[in-house]
Structure 1
């Protein structure tokens, strides 16, 4: 089984990925086909919706605002749940601009069934 830190790093990498085809492939590797992502009052289910969500966040935060995401070194797993914090930083700096918590429910193979994203208001 994949380590929690490896999953956290792969998860964050998809939000940084600029190539649409690689991003699509990474999403399929991370989530099950009917995987869900929750953020605030929004819900995304299935690969098409997940691709839209990740693309829009990438365009806003990475492409347009020159930031990057990274996983904090605190990923841990209990049974079918993986939690970790993520950070958004300038592409060329180390100042943390935002920090959030990811709560992932995974299946037996380690793929994401449900993804709950929390970040400061």
Structure 2
């Protein structure tokens, strides 16, 4: 597994971490201090805001988990990958999307640009 793939694996792990202290520590480990997350529903910067966003998504989808959809495609300091959000296990996802990530020189995430392919209609 490449360093980029390990970072994306840690990224997904952080999105699934429900313990607030562990999640906050994971955010600091994965994201650059000035890191950003942008998707059609959110635009945040910094560890506190990213942590709050993840907590809000977890509150909106309790008991759900993110999982990779396929492989991570990466070159230079950029990676893209698909993901699913749904009930834990092999249940069908309710949200699907893909993220494009840029990495800082230290290998942590600088920017995430998220795209939503499938979202709940109600």
- CA separation of 1:104 and 1:42: change in aligned 2, threshold 3 A: same
Structure 1 consecutive aligned stretches of length 4 or more whose deviation exceeds 4 Å = none
Q: TM-score scaled by structure 1?
A: 0.87
Kindly indicate whether the alpha-carbon contact (under 8 Å) linking 1:106 and 1:112 is maintained by their aligned counterparts in 2: yes
- CA separation of 1:79 and 1:92: change in aligned 2, threshold 3 A: closer
Q: Which residue of 2 aligns with 1:4?
A: 4
Question: After alignment, is 90-99 or 68-77 more displaced?
Answer: 90-99
Kindly indicate whether the alpha-carbon contact (under 8 Å) linking 1:9 and 1:70 is maintained by their aligned counterparts in 2: no
For structure 2, the residue ranges without an aligned partner over 5 or more in a row are none
Count of residue correspondences:
118
Kindly indicate whether the alpha-carbon contact (under 8 Å) linking 1:76 and 1:83 is maintained by their aligned counterparts in 2: yes
Q: Which residue of 2 aligns with 1:116?
A: 113
Kindly indicate whether the alpha-carbon contact (under 8 Å) linking 2:58 and 2:64 is maintained by their aligned counterparts in 1: no
The answer to whether residue 76 in structure 2 is matched with residue 76 in structure 1 is: no
- Structural RMSD (CA): 1.8
Q: Shift of the alpha carbon at 1:97?
A: 2.3
Q: Aligned equivalents of 2:104 and 2:39: distance in 1?
A: 20
Q: Which residue of 2 aligns with 1:101?
A: 98
Counting only pairs closer than 5 Å after superposition, residues 28-39 of structure 1 correspond to structure 2 as 28-39=28-39
Q: Aligned equivalents of 1:72 and 1:104: distance in 2?
A: 15
For structure 1, the residue ranges without an aligned partner over 5 or more in a row are none
